[in-house]
Amino acid sequence: MKKTKRADKIATFVICFFALLIVAVLVGLIGFIMFRGLSHISWHFLTSKPQTMRIGGGIGPQLFNSVFLLILTLIITIPLGWGAGIYMAHYAKPGRVTDFIRLTVEVLSSFPSIVIGLFGLLLIVNTFDFGFSLLSGAIALAVFNLPLMVRTTEQALRAVPKEQKEAGLALGLSKWKIITSILLPVALPSLITGTILASGRIFGEAAALLFTAGMSTPPLDFTDWNPFHDRSPLNPMRPAETLAVHIWKVNSEGIAPDSAQIAAGASAVLVIMVLAFNLLSRWIGKIVYRRLTAAKRMN
């Protein structure tokens, strides 16, 4: 009995130690980035154009490109990822084909992002002739994030208690009606978590975008919001340097006198964007889940 209690205390101590160690590493990393970069953040820094050789450049176009690329990628990834996850969870019959699809998804999730970038360069940029553009980058990131979205969607739907599905069948509801009215509202928090994880990878990805979205941004006219104009910021066919690519570029080949300060400030902005997006997404997810639950109770 004493040995069991001692082993339990040791195991609890080891688990708590590693948990606190992970938290300490995360807090230290974020604190170090914030300490270096917060002093360089200003409204001018967030809205002005970058400078190649002079002091005082900003990250305005790169910041806009990162948000715009996130929206484009999610427009592609969410329908495909959620649809494939629903199919794998409730429509795919057990067998060799389903096992092969699941194995393919697992293998695709382990691909390095640089390989996805080269694939996008050969197929999307050159073969499909999309060029270095936001759309090319969004498609490449969609391929990069689809395995995560498919896995999280399938697991979230399978985690819903079978009794709820059986209750829908007992009421004579169709399979699609059960999925949309019963399973998806229950699995929504997990689906939002998977979307947040995929979105965080979009914000921080650089290697795949070097070969698809490009490493430069043309002069943009933020008064022209016509997506078919060349200088419009909403044009998906223009090259776009994102914030993560800009940080890499400034650190590796920046020649401006304040390149180190620009990289530190841009890194802090990127971390703040990821944290803000996570908190905002979870808040919106809770609101949607409460409304769906309330509407379900009223019905």
- In a domain, residue 20? The reply is no
| Total of domains in the chain | 1
Token pair 């409730």: residue: 90
> The whole model's pTM is what?
0.85
- In a domain, residue 1? The reply is no
- In a domain, residue 266? The reply is yes
**299 residues of the chain, pLDDT tens digit each:** 666 778 788 888 899 999 999 999 989 988 998 888 888 888 888 888 888 778 878 888 898 999 999 899 989 998 988 888 888 888 888 878 888 888 888 788 778 888 888 889 999 999 888 889 999 999 999 888 888 888 888 888 888 877 777 777 777 777 788 888 778 877 887 788 778 777 777 888 888 888 998 888 888 888 888 888 888 888 999 998 899 888 888 888 777 788 888 888 888 998 888 888 878 777 877 777 777 666 666 65
Token pair 């200003």: residue: 42
Nearest to 207 by CA among 242, 245, 166: 245
CA 248 to chain centre: 19
Q: Which residues of 63-77 are buried (b: 16+ CB within 10 A; e: fewer)?
A: bbbbebbbebbbebb
The CA-CA-CA angle for residues 157, 278, 226, to 5°, reads 100
Q: What pLDDT is recorded for position 295?
A: 63
Please give the residue range of the domain that contains residue 162.
41-298
- In a domain, residue 11? The reply is no
Nearest to 68 by CA among 197, 189, 209: 209
- In a domain, residue 187? The reply is yes
CATH of residue 233's domain is: 1.10.3720.10
The CA-CA-CA angle for residues 213, 214, 216, to 5°, reads 125
Q: What pLDDT is recorded for position 11?
A: 84
- In a domain, residue 141? The reply is yes
* Helix then strand then coil, % of the chain, to nearest 5: 75, 0, 25
Radius of gyration of the chain (CA): 23
- In a domain, residue 195? The reply is yes
- In a domain, residue 19? The reply is no
Dmax over Cα atoms in the chain, in whole Å?
76
